[in-house]
A = this chain, B = another copy of it.
Amino acid sequence: MDDIDSAIVRELQRDARQTNRELARRLGIAPSTCLERVRALRARGVITGYRATVDLRALNRPVQALLTIRIRPLNREVIERFKAFLVSLPEVLNIYVVAGGDDFLVHVAVPDLDRLHTMLMDSVFKRREVVDCRSSVIYQHVANDVIGPLTV
């Protein structure tokens, strides 16, 4: 991971569909060199994939919320089973398994508050391992899409 690798990672986070030639031109290296670097970064697992990002409003899911969930008993099996359950819910965008008082933080996107309520009542609350669940509507979500190495 030298400076060129860092720059490639930064540029491809900014725009994953720019051509290899364009990328090489920006970095001041030959296209074949650039291609080799990108492949190596992918092979080493530094770059894990390329994804289109979408507007949740355009997909009719303008309402976002964060669910704070506690489950019991806290053992591996119950945690893994509940996590798998969350993954299976189409409303779910992100699942954070956290330390501290709460066990799960779940980021969801739904068409409206009705659908959030319905999802909570028909899916989440029915799970017997759930002992507590609070939900907070998200007013705004800002994502930092370009993650760089931290300067020490």
Contact = CB atoms under 8 A, between A and B. Distances in A.
Contact of A52 (B9, B97, B107): B9
Nearest to A150: B90
B49 A145 contact: yes
Interface string A68-109: 000000000000000100110011111111111010010101
Given A58-B46, A98-B66, A109 B52 contact: no
A28 interface: no
Given A46-B55, A59-B149, A111-B150, 14 more contacts: A15-B49, A15-B51, A44-B58, A46-B58, A48-B54, A48-B55, A49-B52, A49-B53, A51-B145, A83-B142, A87-B142, A97-B141, A100-B134, A110-B150
Interface of A: 1, 9, 12-17, 44-56, 58-61, 66, 83, 86-87, 90-100, 102, 105, 107, 109-111, 115, 134, 136-145, 147-151
